[in-house]
Chains A and B, each alone.
Chain A
Amino acid sequence: AQSVSQHNHHVILSEAASLELGCNYSYGGTVNLFWYVQYPGQHLQLLLKYFSGDPLVKGIKGFEAEFIKSKFSFNLRKPSVQWSDTAEYFCAVMKTGGYQKVTFGTGTKLQVIP
Chain B
Amino acid sequence: EPEVTQTPSHQVTQMGQEVILRCVPISNHLYFYWYRQILGQKVEFLVSFYNNEISEKSEIFDDQFSVERPDGSNFTLKIRSTKLEDSAMYFCASTEGAYNEQFFGPGTRLTVL
- A interface residues with partner B (beta carbon < 8 Å): 32, 34, 36, 42-46, 49, 51, 90, 96-107
Tell me the complex Cα distance, A71–B45, Å.
25
* B interface with A by C-beta (< 8 Å): 31, 33, 35, 41-45, 48, 50, 55-56, 58, 91, 93, 98-99, 101-107
Judge whether A44 and B91 touch: CB under 8 Å: yes
A98 to B100, CA, bound (A): 10
Q: What does DSSP make chain B's interface, helix, strand, loop or mixed?
A: strand
| Residue pair B98, A43 in contact (C-beta under 8 Å) | no
Task: For B3, give the chain A residue with the smallest CB separation.
Answer: A43
B101 touches A101 (CB 8 A): no
Which of A46, A96, A101 has a CB less than 8 Å from the CB of B33? A101
Q: List 20 A-B contacts (CB under 8 A).
A: A32-B99, A34-B101, A36-B104, A43-B104, A44-B43, A45-B104, A49-B101, A90-B42, A90-B43, A96-B99, A98-B50, A98-B55, A99-B55, A100-B98, A102-B93, A102-B102, A104-B35, A104-B42, A104-B44, A107-B43
